[in-house]
Structure 1
Amino acid sequence: MLCIEDLAVPPEGFLHGEPEGAEYYEAVQMAGMDDFHFGYFAAYRAGRLVTVAPYFVMNFRLNTLLPNGWLKQSLSLIRFKLACIGNPIADVGRIHGDASLEILSAINEELAKKGSLLAYKGFGQDLPLPDFVQAIGLPVPVLALGPDYYQSMKSDRRNLLKRKLKKSSALRYEECAGLPENLVPKVYQLYLNTYHKADLKFEKLTPEYFVNTNALSQYLLFYLEDELIGFTQLIGKGNKLVNRYIGLDYDKSRDHGLYFAMFIRAIDFGIREGFTEIELGATSYEFKRILGARQLPTWNYYRHTTPLFNWILGKLRGVLEPSESELR
């Protein structure tokens, strides 16, 4: 017999091999982000835990995934209570354990009690969700790392990266295990710079996020003279490294090649520390292709509990998928 329990915290061993595992999910959960409620569906068969599916609930505007423009404005008033399997921050959705049709169907019955619009965020193409509208999500650039990373690169690309790194020679670069408490306000200010500049906004972090994830993170810090003008948050475990968040001072970044330097230094860090791959974040695809990243495709799944609205979602599938400008 299958039994589903709704837990407030992840059970022991949840995503234990992933950089963004139980500790990270709990840190995000406790960060006090507005309008988000978090939980975990645990599926048991004959008393044995077989699946853990993280979820979040929020008020979702249908235009959230659209770039700025008339269509985004015209759909701004359409909103649903969204109950979603996944995590609002993680680019890749993960379910711990068995994700069979039987188990997901049972989880969806519980999910429907929390919202009218059900969703799965950032998963593969083959989830057994036959009644859901399947929409292409943002691909995740993943770069293979190794001691021969630069040697195996074509010479013109290698020279391009050298030139970009040389442009940042006036910057002072530091690595920091965790984030010193006195730097949290400045790092948060730099993060907000990138948040406000982005066309696509899903979640907005709080300063508590950077405090809560401190012990899990490695920071790359970039100074112009004595002023912190950029940071990279890295989270690693096993052979995987995640380039989680960046922040920068846009008034000073262009003249000093800051944006490019942050990613090149993250790669250097990953190679030195023995990681074999790094997730580079779902933005700025062209530059990440130059770095050699492959695009890991993702899909989002949607189902409205009202059949008519679910039919309309199918007709509006394109609204739920990334635009060309977001994939550049």
Structure 2
Amino acid sequence: MLHIEDLATAPEGFLPDEPEGAEFYQAFQTARLDDFSFGYFAVYRDSALVTVAPYFVMDFRLNTLLPNGWLKRSLSWIRFKLACIGHPTVDAGRIQGEVSQETLAAISTALAKKGSLLAYKGFAEDLPLRGFVAAKGLPVPVLSIGPDYYQAMKSDRRNLLKRKLKKAAALRYEECAGLPDHLVAKVHALYLNTWQKAELKFEKLTPEYFANTRSLSHYLLYFLDDELIGFTQLIGKGRHLVNRYIGLDYARSHEYGLYFAMFIRTVEFGIREGFEEIELGATSYEFKRILGARQIPTWNHYRHNNVLVNWMLGKLRGVLEPSESELR
């Protein structure tokens, strides 16, 4: 017999081997993102904890995943209270413990009390769910690295990366464990530049996010003279490194090819620190393919509490899937 507890904070030992584990989830949910509320479903069989599923709740516009254009504008009025298993910014959905039809049915019943539109974000296509519509999500670029990474690369690609890195040589480059207080506001401002430029906007981070997560992070920093014009936030654990966020001063970074240099420096950092894989973030796929990243598919699963609306979701599956422009 299953029963569920709804927890405000992650239970001890939640995702202990993941870079984005309990500490990251807790730091994120206390960063004053007013559009979200967070929690964890702890599933027990008799008295034994068998599953922990993180969730978040938000107001969700159906056009959120669409590129800018007439269709996005025309669907802007359709919104739901979304209750979602997963995390707003972690690309791969993670449930700890048993993932079975029985445990997911119990979780979905509890989730249905939080919102009208239910979702499981970033999971495999074959997640054992009944009555959900499965829609393709953004694939996650994952790069395998090691000491022979550059030697194994074709010479034309290796030379291309050398040229792009050389273009940024006039910038001062620093690596920093954590983030100094005096750079938090500047890092947030640079992040907002990339947020404004993004075609898909799901969350909008606060300065508190960067302050809360700095103890978990390494920062790669890029200065023009003494002014910070770019950053990369990295979070790593074990064999796995995650490229969390970047930020750029677009008015001055293009001249130095900074965007490309940031990812090359991330690869160099990962190799030097002994990581075996880097999750590069679900954007700008073309350059990440040049680096050698493979694309890990993800699926989002949706169900509306209203049977008719749920039927319509099945017919509108394409609206919920990434556009061609987002996959470039």
Between the two proteins, what is the percent identity of the paired residues?
A: 77
For residues 56 and 40 of structure 1, the distance between their equivalents in structure 2, rounded to whole angstroms, comes to 9
Residue equivalent to 1:230: 230
Q: Tell me the secondary structure at the aligned position of residue 310 of structure 1.
A: helix
Residue equivalent to 1:63: 63
- 1:200-254 deviation per Cα after TM superposition (whole angstroms, max 9, x unaligned): 0000000000010010000000001111000000000010000000000001111
For residues 178 and 292 of structure 2, the distance between their equivalents in structure 1, rounded to whole angstroms, comes to 28
For residues 259 and 130 of structure 1, the distance between their equivalents in structure 2, rounded to whole angstroms, comes to 42
**Aligned residue runs from structure 1 range 183-222, under 5 A:** 183-222=183-222
Residue equivalent to 1:263: 263
CA RMSD after TM alignment: 0.5
Displacement after TM superposition at 1:3 (Å)? 1.0
**Aligned residue runs from structure 1 range 60-99, under 5 A:** 60-99=60-99
Residue equivalent to 2:282: 282
- Correspondence 1:115 to 2:109: no
The one-letter code sitting in structure 2 at the alignment partner of 1:303 is R
For residues 59 and 46 of structure 2, the distance between their equivalents in structure 1, rounded to whole angstroms, comes to 36
- 1:184-203 deviation per Cα after TM superposition (whole angstroms, max 9, x unaligned): 01000000000000010000
Q: Which runs of 5+ in 1 are unaligned?
A: none
For residues 194 and 48 of structure 2, the distance between their equivalents in structure 1, rounded to whole angstroms, comes to 44
For residues 231 and 3 of structure 1, the distance between their equivalents in structure 2, rounded to whole angstroms, comes to 45
The one-letter code sitting in structure 2 at the alignment partner of 1:100 is S
Q: Tell me the secondary structure at the aligned position of residue 185 of structure 2.
A: helix
The one-letter code sitting in structure 1 at the alignment partner of 2:170 is A
Q: Which runs of 5+ in 2 are unaligned?
A: none
Q: TM-score, normalised on structure 2? A: 0.99
The one-letter code sitting in structure 2 at the alignment partner of 1:24 is F
For residues 148 and 125 of structure 2, the distance between their equivalents in structure 1, rounded to whole angstroms, comes to 32
For residues 238 and 215 of structure 1, the distance between their equivalents in structure 2, rounded to whole angstroms, comes to 16
Displacement after TM superposition at 1:34 (Å)? 1.9
Displacement after TM superposition at 1:94 (Å)? 0.3
For residues 102 and 248 of structure 1, the distance between their equivalents in structure 2, rounded to whole angstroms, comes to 46
For residues 229 and 21 of structure 1, the distance between their equivalents in structure 2, rounded to whole angstroms, comes to 29
Q: Tell me the secondary structure at the aligned position of residue 64 of structure 1.
A: helix
Residue equivalent to 1:25: 25
Q: Tell me the secondary structure at the aligned position of residue 64 of structure 2.
A: coil
Displacement after TM superposition at 1:45 (Å)? 1.0
Q: TM-score, normalised on structure 1? A: 0.99
For residues 130 and 157 of structure 1, the distance between their equivalents in structure 2, rounded to whole angstroms, comes to 46
Q: Tell me the secondary structure at the aligned position of residue 265 of structure 1.
A: helix
The one-letter code sitting in structure 2 at the alignment partner of 1:43 is V
Displacement after TM superposition at 1:130 (Å)? 2.5
For residues 124 and 26 of structure 2, the distance between their equivalents in structure 1, rounded to whole angstroms, comes to 24
Residue equivalent to 2:151: 151
For residues 27 and 124 of structure 1, the distance between their equivalents in structure 2, rounded to whole angstroms, comes to 26
